[in-house]
A and B are shown apart, each in its own frame.
Chain A
Amino acid sequence: MISAWIEKKVSKEFSLEVEFSIEEGSFVAIAGESGSGKTTLLRVLAGLENAKGELKVGQTLWQSERFFLPTQKREVGFLFQNYALFENMTVEKNLLFVRKDKELAEHLLQTVELQELRKKYPSQLSGGQKQRVALARALMRKPKLLLLDEPLSALDSAMRAKLQNDILRLHKEFNTTTVMVSHDPSEIYRLASKVFVLKKGKIVDEGTPKEVLLKMQGSQKFTFSGEVLEIYKSDVIYVVVVAIAQQIVEVVVSSEEVGKFYVGAKVSVSAKAFGANVELIE
């Protein structure tokens, strides 16, 4: 069990005040608007920032009123948003710098499919490749706690999916406890078993991704806004033609409603999630 109680002033307006416990081996996501203290929380867990409070990982005390275990001694792996690779070292050296364990480095490079790039320097890699190196490097310490700070936000969706698989696979294989800051609901849904929602430094919601995300997304319906192109009568009903983005949609309205529409009006078209049709586009 990882238990934490943390207090830290983040800005003039608010301070981070959280208390939570995480089961060892679980995958936790921290969601919330930007500037809500998510990254700060992650950095405090890693020992990269000072804070008041107490932090216990398993039987080991990492932090208390009078004690602060330095970052170097905390068994953490940290994935930064901008990869933070050592530019002066090759891919392989980046891993071996953490720990001289060639076998483990080999295995990790294989897992993230980068064996062929082992002699390359970070400046020769793409963003996705860089983050895979960073992920492998973070696991060289066999960390108890793997901390991911929006690691995929700068990548395209195909690369994102690949890295999500890598993260999940390594999380399971190394049996780490993983805490990930993320904006992306689908990412949280895929990876995490628990979500904390942070707002102005406080945890305002927690639960499984399903419970939390559906609440976060507001009412369960689709809404699109568009412009009325034409209104015509068909038998006893009226049809309003609306342009939504690149598409033209026909919507049926009753004779009582039709009076308020006119050509050029801005309208919104919506459908309840449970009443909507889902069709495969491709």
Chain B
Amino acid sequence: MQVDFTPFLLSFKLAFVTTLLLFFIALPFAWWLSQTRSKTKPLFEALSALPIVLPPSVLGFYLLVLFSQTSPLGVFLQEHFHISLVFTFWGLVVASMMYSFPFMLQPLQSGFEGLKQEMIEASYVSGKGKLTTLLRVALPNIKPSLLTALIVTFAHTVGEFGVVLMVGGSIPNETKVASVAIYEMVEVMDYDNAHIYSAVMLVISFSVLLGVYVFNHRYKRHIGAFGS
């Protein structure tokens, strides 16, 4: 029996690209949310958490409408950049980034909020600007949160189904990721392949999560070992 691993590769490629891009987008936003005293903060928090609550099909449907050739945005992208975000890999990336945004944002934000504010201020008093403070003081001190954000975003993107199906369809080598492939196998009652695919997904997901928890446990013990 020949197992086609392309859907897996596509899943991981999608997850990798999404995680990488999302990190750079969510990082400044998470930092801003953790530091701001603005009254608009709850508004932005609610907006960014929407993908957790919304059914993936709702998000997928809106994105489909937004990216389609009949919407102003779709027309604009097609005419000026010759990009179509419907049923393409990059369309999946954009959709995944929206869908996984809170999973990147929230661990980072709570990590930053857990830092002692005085440590941040000590950096400012030392003459350092916001960017230096973020990169050299804040970020290195939230390693467990950082790892959680990256891994959970990655895993969540691998596990995506609804949004991917809506926006990407199931085009082999382009948008047919593992979760969609499994769905189609079950539909045509190809249970043998569905079993293999599902088992691979299960083992990978579990290993990734186990790795995160082991790291966080060790990190905490390392910090706690010396007391204060």
CA distance A137 to B122 in the complex (A): 10
Report the stretch among A56-64, A70-78, A195-203 that lies at the interface: A70-78
Report the minimum CB–CB distance from A242 to chain B (whole Å).
Answer: 44
Q: Does A175 contact B (CB under 8 A)?
A: no
CA distance A99 to B127 in the complex (A): 9
CA distance A124 to B224 in the complex (A): 10
Contact B121 A72 (CB under 8 A): no
Given that A78-B121, A87-B119, A88-B137 are known contacts, is A123 also in contact with B126, CB under 8 Å in the complex?
no
Contact A76 B125 (CB under 8 A): yes
Closest partner residue, chain A, to B223 (CB atom): A123
Cβ-Cβ contact count across A and B, 8 Å cutoff: 62
Report the minimum CB–CB distance from B114 to chain A (whole Å).
Answer: 12
Contact A98 B126 (CB under 8 A): yes
CA distance A48 to B123 in the complex (A): 11
Contact A86 B123 (CB under 8 A): yes
Which chain B residues lie closer than 8 Å to A71 at the CB level?
A: 121, 124-125
Q: Does A85 contact B (CB under 8 A)?
A: yes
Q: How large is the interface on B (under 10, 10 to 19, 20 to 34, 35 or more residues)?
A: 20 to 34
Report the minimum CB–CB distance from A27 to chain B (whole Å).
Answer: 19
Among A77, A78, A88, A137, which residue has the most Cβ atoms of chain B within 10 A?
A88
Which chain B residues lie closer than 8 Å to A77 at the CB level?
A: 125
Q: How many residues of chain A get a CB closer than 8 Å to chain B's CBs?
A: 29
Cβ contact of A124, chosen from B136, B137, B141, B226, cutoff 8 A = B226
Cβ contact of B124, chosen from A72, A80, A81, A82, cutoff 8 A = A72
Which chain A residues lie closer than 8 Å to B119 at the CB level?
A: 84-87
Chain A binding surface, main DSSP class = mixed
Report the minimum CB–CB distance from B152 to chain A (whole Å).
Answer: 22
Q: Does B195 contact A (CB under 8 A)?
A: no
Which chain A residues lie closer than 8 Å to B125 at the CB level?
A: 46, 48, 71, 76-78, 138
Cβ contact of A123, chosen from B122, B129, B140, B226, cutoff 8 A = B226
CA distance A73 to B121 in the complex (A): 13
Contact A98 B141 (CB under 8 A): no
Contact A123 B121 (CB under 8 A): no
CA distance A79 to B228 in the complex (A): 18
Q: Does A262 contact B (CB under 8 A)?
A: no
Q: Does B218 contact A (CB under 8 A)?
A: no
Which chain A residues lie closer than 8 Å to B223 at the CB level?
A: 123
CA distance A77 to B121 in the complex (A): 11
Q: Does A141 contact B (CB under 8 A)?
A: yes
- Give residues 89-134 of B contacting A (CB, 8 Å): 116, 118-119, 121-129
Report the minimum CB–CB distance from B91 to chain A (whole Å).
Answer: 39
* Known contacts A84-B118, A134-B122; 18 further A-B pairs (Cβ under 8 A): A46-B125, A48-B121, A48-B125, A71-B121, A72-B128, A72-B129, A77-B125, A78-B121, A80-B122, A84-B116, A84-B121, A85-B122, A86-B123, A97-B123, A99-B127, A121-B226, A127-B228, A140-B126
Can you give 21 contacting A-B residue pairs, CB < 8 Å?
A: A48-B121, A48-B125, A71-B121, A71-B124, A72-B127, A76-B125, A78-B121, A78-B122, A78-B125, A81-B118, A84-B118, A84-B121, A85-B119, A85-B122, A97-B126, A97-B128, A121-B226, A123-B227, A127-B228, A137-B126, A140-B126
Among all A-B residue pairs, the 3 with the closest Cβ atoms: A84-B118, A88-B140, A98-B126
Could you list which residues of chain B lie within 8 angstroms of chain A, going by C-beta atoms?
116, 118-119, 121-129, 136-137, 140-141, 223, 226-228
